[in-house]
Amino acid sequence: MTTKTLVPTEVHAQVQHFYAHQMQALDSLRFEDYAATFTEDGSFQHSPQAEPAVTRAGIVRELVEFHKRFDGDPVQRRHWFTHVALQPQPDGSYASTVYALVVTTRPGGTPVIAPSCVVHDVLEVTDGEVLTRSRLVTHDQMFQ
Amino acid sequence: MTTKTLVPTEVHAQVQHFYAHQMQALDSLRFEDYAATFTEDGSFQHSPQAEPAVTRAGIVRELVEFHKRFDGDPVQRRHWFTHVALQPQPDGSYASTVYALVVTTRPGGTPVIAPSCVVHDVLEVTDGEVLTRSRLVTHDQMFQ
Amino acid sequence: MTTKTLVPTEVHAQVQHFYAHQMQALDSLRFEDYAATFTEDGSFQHSPQAEPAVTRAGIVRELVEFHKRFDGDPVQRRHWFTHVALQPQPDGSYASTVYALVVTTRPGGTPVIAPSCVVHDVLEVTDGEVLTRSRLVTHDQMFQ
């Protein structure tokens, strides 16, 4: 590894800001907004065992389905990110590897932190606009 | 939501660095330094139920008062931030929405993480200098 | 404290990206890669009581030794960082003060978060390349 990566500083800063808006959309249950942060043919796989959801419409359907488990269970989930590490790909996209924690709070409760995940994204960055082409989330408690 | 925000990349990076210094000042109990990160007429409301503290002197008084609960109770608090999402306002300021966790450690103990909060700031950014005009902190365990 | 620090915005962004790659190397047990993020004569002291490991070879040896405690104990550790606060030093380097949490997950388990630390680095930044000259980690549960 050379410690000097070949990623423009500006791209790293743009990606951080992109993730802030993207994940606040998800945690606010604005699924259309979240899906709009993917490319039209984007792919979202929330665990290695899951079928990937593809296209923006498919991602919205997946999220609606997933969140049915919280019907009648008021809960605020928040996705924490740290260490956004980018690697340029031959086609001009960026591989992005990010640590994620899910923080869940219920009324009157204290936050529960689980699981510890790693987000593996492929990002397209054009003129400061970032889109997620694909996302695979791995989970630390599932050892290979 | 367009995923391409209208915030200069540099401003987002400056705000992240600003928060690092601001919150390390707070956690080091340098209340004058923390208050100096607000505008002269700044407002700081640490929960929706609290009266806002206004002006730098008022913010220092509020913090001195709040921390009396820790007299004789050695404690290290740290405010963790992630996902700094900025939105430009018509008057040139930025609305900043940020996730925050309070991490508390006592001598010999393990960190206790609570509560999960959202920081709602209005920031003034001039020539790379950032100041907080107003801050409201909401708490996830208090559901609306 | 002036809230306008004398650190170029670009340097702060570069340091954030540097830390992402550096700490993902450590957590992936790529000790040679981690050591390569230090200067040739770099120093790494993981607690105030420990002897500092010096030089890249010395840092690798220290990490190999430290991780023997996990032999036969499959564990995924992750180092979370927030609030990277830089201060320029007279010699052109930067003092970097960062909050760190260690997040540990075992197979089938939930993440355990401890300890809460502060990383005190001296960084050399040349043409966008960042190297750690020295690192001292303090631990919040050890009160002075």
Q: What is the DSSP string of chain A?
A: --SS-SS-HHHHHHHHHHHHHHHHHHHTT-HHHHHTTEEEEEEEESSTTSPPEESHHHHHHHHHHHHGGGTT---EEEEEEEEEEEEE-TTS-EEEEEEEEEEEE-TT---EEEEEEEEEEEEEEETTEEEEEEEEEEETTS--
Answer yes or no: is B66 within a domain. yes
Instruction: Give residue-wise pLDDT tens across range B32-85.
Output: 999 999 999 999 999 999 999 999 999 999 999 999 999 999 999 999 999 999
Tally of domains in chain A: 1
Specify the CATH number for the domain of residue A49. 3.10.450.50
Whether residues B76 and C140 touch (CB distance < 8 A) is answered with yes
Answer yes or no: is A129 within a domain. yes
Answer yes or no: is A4 within a domain. no
* The predicted structure's pLDDT at residue B5: 62
- Asked whether the predicted pLDDT for residue B100 surpasses 70, the reply is yes
Average pLDDT, chain B: 94
Name all chains with 3 or more CB-CB pairs below 8 Å to chain B: A, C
Which candidate from C19, C21, C128 shows the least CB-CB separation from A9?
C128
pLDDT over 90 percentage in chain B: 93
For residue B82 the two structure tokens come to 């992630």
Q: What are phi and psi of B63, to 5 degrees?
A: -70, -40
User: Which residues in chain C show pLDDT less than 70?
Assistant: 1-5, 144
Question: Letter for the amino acid at A99?
Answer: Y
Overall average pLDDT of the A47-54 stretch:
95
* The predicted structure's pLDDT at residue C143: 73
Answer yes or no: is C3 within a domain. no
* The predicted structure's pLDDT at residue A1: 44
- Asked whether the predicted pLDDT for residue B3 surpasses 90, the reply is no
Answer yes or no: is A2 within a domain. no
- Asked whether the predicted pLDDT for residue B144 surpasses 90, the reply is no
Answer yes or no: is A83 within a domain. yes
CB C42 within 8 A of CB C9: no
C75 close to B (CB below 8 A): no
Answer yes or no: is A108 within a domain. yes
Whether residues A9 and C20 touch (CB distance < 8 A) is answered with no
* The predicted structure's pLDDT at residue A4: 58
* Exposure string over C84-106, b if 16+ CB within 10 A, otherwise e: bbbeeeeeebbebbbbbbbbbbe
Distance from CA of C90 to the nearest CA of A (A): 24
Which residue in chain B has the smallest CA separation from C118? B78
Answer yes or no: is B20 within a domain. yes
* The predicted structure's pLDDT at residue A144: 55
| Distance from C-alpha of A3 to C-alpha of C131, rounded to nearest angstrom | 8
Domain that holds residue C102: 9-142
